[in-house]
Amino acid sequence: MVRPHSTALRGALRTVQSRPSPGLTHQRLFAAAARCRTNDKQQSFKSQLYESTQQRLKRERAEQERFAQYQTQSSGGRYAAMMFALVFFSSGAYYLGSLKPAALPTSSTTSLADLEPPKHNVSQSNLQAAWSDFVDILGKENVSTAPEDLDTHAGSDWSSYPRKADETPFLILYPASTEEVSRIMKICHQRLIPVTPYSGGTSLEGHFASTRGGVCIDFRRMNRILDLHKHDLDVVVQPAVGWEDLNEQLAQDGLFFPPDPGPGAMIGGMVGTGCSGTNAYRYGTMREWVLSLTVVLADGTVIKTRQRPRKSSAGYDLNKLFIGSEGTLGLVTEATLKLTVKPASQNVAVASFPSIQDAAECVTHVVAAGIPVAGVEILDDVQMKCINASGYTSREWKESPTIFFRFTGTPAAVKEQIGMVQKIASKAASKSFEFARGEKEMDELWSARKTALWSVMAMRNNPEDHVWTTDVAVPMSRLPDIIEATKADMTKSGLLAGICGHVGDGNFHAIILFSDKEKKVAEGVVHRMVKRAVEMEGTVTGEHGVGLVKRDYLAHELGESTVDAMRRLKLAFDPLCLLNCDKVVRIEQPAPGEVKEW
């Protein structure tokens, strides 16, 4: 008996064999036979036969026609088609390969030569689109494109870095909270928009110049004291709290925040530059008075560096990393600061000397004697003349090198310190020694030190004249030498230039007045001053920070490898180089002749 499936199989084979096809292979015959066997279980014999004789013939004819068309194509056409396919698939493979992340670096440092220039998007269309996003976050009133705002945030008259027409932000943002700053940075990170932070605007080395355009974040709305822990002696503040306002508030509870830089400085900028001030000799710098920071990173991530205890050995010290980073690693939105008890008594004394060398030697003797004075400040004869001529203080001063001493402690301790310093000053050939006899006299005597910069600026004969304020620091034993050499260099230059500074810790400043024609002369004076400091095992900046002006000196002070390590840190926290571009370390090769020869 013949089985139905065998009959169907023989019929299908006979049908196919009776119509020979050039394109039909043995493989297709067996596949067809296999399909017949499978379908046979569900279809009748008549359906199987119809399928094998009608539909399959249609498919075969279509294949024959395609094959015939291929055979009639010219060899040139086939070659063109093949080349097109090759180019298409090669391009696709290249694109897919480019999507693969680059291999991670294996070295511990990043040299400038190995770094690709940052790729920012500061096109009008991108910035205008971002404007809409920022308005959604902050409200239209807190996103400014007013020309006067842009100009204010592009530089200052007291900065040593000159304003440049192409270094102006596109818009100014005024956030009010850490969350808003985080949302801003997420947008900037997504859109590749560079960001310049702005606090009090009192910095001196080009810290808030918008070298890449983009946006400027002004923290002035973040000016609140968030929490005061009286018994723990710490306070939590936002970045736009001024140190003077903070101390005014703390005084009501008998507390005191020691760092005291120039008037108008705010906590955010003080953290950014790692500043100090006139109390540095006794109380140290900003680095010693920060317990914890809340920081928004370049991609909008929010981190907290520490808890509130006075001491901790838990993990890396991110506090010290962000202090002095000048906004290049993250944006500080809160700071927990250490406080101390306000001194029970304080006083001020002023001593004048026949030469700047005599004054500097007096300071070294005071330091060597271990007298715990709160502050030791020096002003040279030129500086004292400017103070008298400006009329910024209420008294007439001796126009000779002068040291200002500040004493704090118990009344008995203050009295003892004054007596000891007076004896040392006398041995150092002081021409006069005067101490305050009351609060009013104390403020009057100290006022000269605080008006030093402004008094030199008041000496400008032309509104277009510029002032260059810079600082260096050296080991205490070398202080008299560098001050004397710098003073002689200033005198030789013919520029109006004064010396002042926190000499109790080897840090002093030069304030130089110059016109556009005298710019090269001023640059030479500053360059030689910095070089002397480095050669005396000192630093290119004691408290002003690096900014744009001092960045090329870092390698001379610390070595190329150290700067390369700093650059690696920058890239670790800010791989797209969005935050305060070009400050501290370069992220792009300098133009020819831009770096002064050592």
Query: What is the per-residue pLDDT across 502-542, written as a single tens digit (0 to 9) for each?
Result: 888 899 999 999 999 999 999 999 999 999 999 999 999 99
Residues 6+ apart with CB under 8 A from 346: 374, 406, 407, 408, 409, 414, 442
Q: Answer whether residue 36 shows pLDDT above 50.
A: no
Residues 6+ apart with CB under 8 A from 348: 404, 405, 406, 407, 435, 436, 441, 442, 445, 446
The token pair that represents 221 in the structure block: 């709305």
The predicted structure's pLDDT at residue 190: 98
Residues 6+ apart with CB under 8 A from 117: 587, 588, 589
Distance CA 201, CA 26 (A): 86
More confident residue, 413 or 46: 413
Query: What is the per-residue pLDDT across 83-141, written as a single tens digit (0 to 9) for each?
Result: 666 667 666 666 666 665 667 778 999 999 999 999 999 999 999 999 999 999 999 99
The predicted structure's pLDDT at residue 373: 93
The residue type of 31 is A
> Can you tell me the mean pLDDT for 63-78?
56
What are the helix (H) ranges across 466-538?
Answer: 479-493, 519-535
Query: What is the per-residue pLDDT across 463-506, written as a single tens digit (0 to 9) for each?
Result: 889 999 999 999 999 999 999 999 999 999 999 999 998 888 89
Query: What is the per-residue pLDDT across 258-290, written as a single tens digit (0 to 9) for each?
Result: 999 988 999 999 999 999 988 999 999 999 999
The predicted structure's pLDDT at residue 180: 98
Burial class, 119, CB count within 10 angstroms (exposed 0-12 / middle 13-18 / buried 19+): exposed
Query: What is the per-residue pLDDT across 323-337, written as a single tens digit (0 to 9) for each?
Result: 999 999 999 999 999
The predicted structure's pLDDT at residue 100: 58
The residue type of 269 is G
Distance CA 193, CA 189 (A): 7
pTM for the model stands at 0.81
Distance CA 503, CA 507 (A): 5
Strand 331-338 with 507-514, pairing: unpaired
The predicted structure's pLDDT at residue 443: 87
Terminal C-alpha separation, the chain:
109
Q: Answer whether residue 22 shows pLDDT above 70.
A: no
More confident residue, 48 or 259: 259
Distance CA 128, CA 170 (A): 9
Q: Output the average pLDDT for the chain.
A: 87
> Can you tell me the mean pLDDT for 455-469?
90
Q: Is 528 in contact with 489 (CB distance < 8 Å)?
A: yes
